[in-house]
Amino acid sequence: MAEKIVNVRNIVKKFGEKVVLNNISFSVNYGEIFGLIGPNGAGKTTTLRCLYGDLFPDRGEIEIFGNKFDQNKKDRIAVLTESRISFSKFRGEDYRRLWSMLYPKWNEEIFNNFIMHYNLDLRERVENYSAGMRVVMNLALTISSGAELLILDEPTLNLDPVIKTDALRVFKDFVKEENRSIVISSHEIYELEEIADAFAIIKEGRIIYTDTVDEAKSKHRIGGRNEKISGTIVGTVGDEILYRTDKDEGRYPTLMEISIAYIQGQRQFAPFERSDF
């Protein structure tokens, strides 16, 4: 059984009378990049906020590093939020000083590599950076923190294709280090397919499917509307159909096709849980 860095069990979160997360469960292994996939308003950001302690679930349990979450673990977690909030009048150098004080394993060499590669001016206010360079600055801080767990909400938003490619490589290199993992929420499913080891699809506050990328592809097939494939129909993908099956029929799907079919599907399965959950 693989060791877990994140274990989420049956969490429920309400804002007033509105249920935003409804009995969410999933796990993330050490050394894994885990993708959280879903449409806008599905509950992805709320889930991440619960992971890093910005929100607390009304019911259920979250374990980080093998124990219940507590504030003393925050220096082992680094977060990149979708909002990219920057402090008014803070220069790049101010952020460097703040993060290096907050994170005992701060890596100055990695941070300087980012700064030199992208020619970021630490004397300039970060709020005056372009949208893309603000993302790069936040990525530099997050990766340089030395944290064991990165929680990233739409981390490649506003990045040009070249810098996106660089970022994906950095993420893959990050988890090669011992006991490091990443949880990513993203609409860029093609990017997740390139780097993710496992994923969960969230819809209307529920996890409707979770698995490793490789296992998900092996358990599903794509066929044409007039093609006979044994198994259960999950949903349509354009003019084709995704089936859940153990038969070697049709063709293997992409992660994008699996995601679309489950989100837009004709029915919802009970969430599949990895065998080692």
Mean pLDDT by 10 residues, the chain (277 residues): 86 94 95 95 94 93 88 88 77 95 95 95 92 92 96 91 93 89 93 95 95 96 89 92 93 96 68 46
β-strand pairing of 181-185 with 59-64 = unpaired
Burial class (CB in 10 A: 0-12, 13-18, 19+), 1: exposed
| CATH number for the domain whose boundaries are 4-209 | 3.40.50.300
Q: Which helix (H) or strand (E) holds 137?
A: helix 131-144
Question: 3-state SS of 220-272?
Answer: EEEEECCCCCCCEEEEEECCEEEEECCCCCCECCCHHHHHHHHHHCCCCCCCC
Structure tokens at 130: 């372009």
Predicted local confidence at residue 227, as pLDDT? 87
Predicted local confidence at residue 88, as pLDDT? 78
Predicted local confidence at residue 2, as pLDDT? 66
Span(s) in the chain for CATH 3.40.50.300: 4-209
Bridge partners of residue 275, in order along the sequence? none
Nearest alpha-carbon partner for 79 in 101, 107, 99: 99
Predicted local confidence at residue 276, as pLDDT? 40
Predicted local confidence at residue 103, as pLDDT? 96
Predicted local confidence at residue 277, as pLDDT? 34
Nearest alpha-carbon partner for 158 in 80, 91, 93: 80
Helix 131-144 vs helix 108-118: crossing angle, to nearest 10: 160
DSSP for residue 219: T
Per-residue CA distances from 215 to 104, 178, 198 (Å): 37, 24, 9
DSSP for residue 185: E
Contact 167, 139 (CB under 8 A): yes
Nearest alpha-carbon partner for 126 in 87, 158, 166, 162: 87
Predicted local confidence at residue 72, as pLDDT? 77
Predicted local confidence at residue 269, as pLDDT? 45
Predicted local confidence at residue 266, as pLDDT? 47
Predicted local confidence at residue 204, as pLDDT? 93
